[in-house]
Amino acid sequence: MAAFSSDGQRCIEQQVGPINVSPTPLNELRSAYELDRCDSWIQTNHYSKVCLQFPDELLCDAPDIVLILQNSSGAHCYILGDTSYGSCCVDEVSAEHVQCDGIIHFGHACLSPTRRLPVLYIFPKNPFDVERLCSAVNATFKDRKSKLLFIYDVTYAHKIDEVYDTLSCLYPNLVTAYPNVSSCHTKEGKEQQQVCLGSRFCIPEGTSLDDYNVLFIGKDGRTFTNYLLEFGADCKIFRYDPDEPVSVIEAADGKISKFLMKRLHLVERVKDAKTLGILIGTLGVDGYLDAVDQIKNLAKKAGKKTYIFAVGRPNIPKLANFPEIDVFVLVACPENSLLDWKDFYQPVVSLYEVELACNTLRQWSTKYVSDFRQLLLGGKDHVQLPEISMENFSDVSLITGKVRNVDITNIASAESDSSNRSITDRGDLTVCLSTGSEFLVNRTWQGLEQNLGQNPVELATLGRSGIASSYHSEPVQRDAD
């Protein structure tokens, strides 16, 4: 477990340097960042204020890009950097501070839908050898009638049309997914009937994942992990990394099983918890407020208390300040919702674990839902809450082995509009204290005590003045002759 406090030696010895990224030459900026496309988007929509969002590794090019776009488009451009949450999400809150008309997002993106402002995505262009990929695909899929579905990291989007043109002649059942943005087109530039694959990609209508071998092009990171969990163990998914010397690799089922075992343990932790802390991990993804309301509703049905926290990017010291919280629930985009919580003092879960713990109609399966929008009303994985019967619920914890009792009195008090009192069916008046205040009362140390009326009143006196090495009240030391 990571230490919460130390003697400061680690901070003193730690070396912090700039990100090792060299600026792009001026003559390559327009092509590397698709500035012609940005100009066309700004002028077509008649925008006068545009925010340009950059991740940390691309901020070195931001000043030159702003000057180029302002001269060519005539719009006022502002730089957005150092976002409060993940840089893959669109920072609408910072953009609204200058009342901008739209946002141009540069760099890797999770493609989560925004709530208020129009967005233009400019993806990075990582080098990619198409012939090497085609050779690896031919060596892996011998059957030419194999049904293949290409899904890729957005950094390789600029080469996907070339891949499709090369392999479609050999594999007639080849299907390519396209980023799920506001203007999603085929390689011919014509719109097509599409269905959403999660919230990030679109596939042609009539395509089913059960019939296809999924090939992901990219590194083994958060993006691939989310697709691996979203498709489930029943789907055959392969991965090809252009930067590795190996060929196409089939994803092992053991990785999914190990991950699901950890998440099943977290479900039990949520069932044992009495207090849930809702962590706001995004302010730009559409539906995040609905996700917060759903967590609060699930907690009320299960007789649990909830607190809402907005602490920016969560880390160990921040969350350790709230020991009264049993489990934190993170509301964030799919790529930032799965935290490695083993070093945290309290578990950090997602909306899906809360659904499994508090919604009796939600069934456990090998498919994991990391996109909270799919669990909300209208989502493809939404499950309606059951009606609560007026009885006490009992369950056995798989962690402690003790019996968990959910008293209907606590549920009624949680659903009551009053924050401190509720009346039961028997007519008794029950006082409902906040779990946070109960935790503070039971602690042996509750902070600095005021002791009002117990200490005598003293007049203020003049303290020391000067610097620490030589206060004015100290005698002056003379050098020896």
Residue-wise DSSP of 138-206: HHH---TT--EEEEE-GGGGGGHHHHHHHHTTT-TTEEE-EE-SSS---TTS----EEEETTTEEEETT
Which structure tokens are listed for 113?
């839908």
Q: Please, are residues 205 and 193 in contact by the beta-carbon 8 Å criterion? A: yes
Q: Please, are residues 308 and 328 in contact by the beta-carbon 8 Å criterion? A: no
Q: Tell me 391's DSSP state.
A: S
β-pairing, 213-217 vs 148-152, is parallel
Question: Distance between CA atoms of 278 and 306, rounded to whole angstroms?
Answer: 7
For the chain, which domains are there? 28-122 (3.40.50.11840), 130-251 (3.40.50.11850), 256-396 (3.40.50.11860)
Q: What is the pLDDT along the chain (481 residues), one digit of tens a residue?
A: 343 334 444 444 545 444 556 788 889 999 999 999 999 999 999 999 999 999 988 999 999 999 999 999 989 999 998 777 878 889 888 898 999 999 999 998 888 888 788 999 999 988 888 888 888 888 888 888 888 888 888 888 888 888 888 888 888 888 888 777 643 333 333 344 444 555 566 766 666 777 788 888 888 888 888 888 877 767 788 888 888 776 677 766 566 777 888 888 899 999 999 899 999 988 888 889 999 999 999 998 888 999 999 888 888 889 988 888 999 999 998 888 887 778 888 999 999 999 999 988 888 877 788 889 889 988 888 888 887 643 456 677 777 777 776 554 554 444 444 344 444 444 444 445 566 667 777 777 767 777 778 888 888 888 888 888 788 888 776 655 5
Question: Distance between CA atoms of 248 and 143, rounded to whole angstroms?
Answer: 15
Q: Give me the helices (H) in 25-148, please.
A: 29-32, 35-44, 62-73, 92-96, 130-140
Q: What pLDDT sits at residue 252?
A: 61
403 pairs with which residues across the strands?
A: 396
Q: What pLDDT sits at residue 290?
A: 93
302 pairs with which residues across the strands?
A: none
Q: How many beta carbons lie within 10 A of that of residue 416, not counting itself?
A: 15
Q: Please, are residues 222 and 339 in contact by the beta-carbon 8 Å criterion? A: no
Question: Distance between CA atoms of 36 and 291, rounded to whole angstroms?
Answer: 38
Question: Distance between CA atoms of 457 and 209, rounded to whole angstroms?
Answer: 76
Question: Distance between CA atoms of 346 and 296, rounded to whole angstroms?
Answer: 19
Q: What pLDDT sits at residue 425?
A: 45
Q: Tell me 336's DSSP state.
A: T
What does R_g of the chain's alpha carbons equal in angstroms? 28
Q: What pLDDT sits at residue 202?
A: 73
Q: Tell me 280's DSSP state.
A: E
> Which residues, in sequence order, are CB contacts of 444 under 8 Å at separation 6+?
none
Question: Distance between CA atoms of 68 and 17, rounded to whole angstroms?
Answer: 29
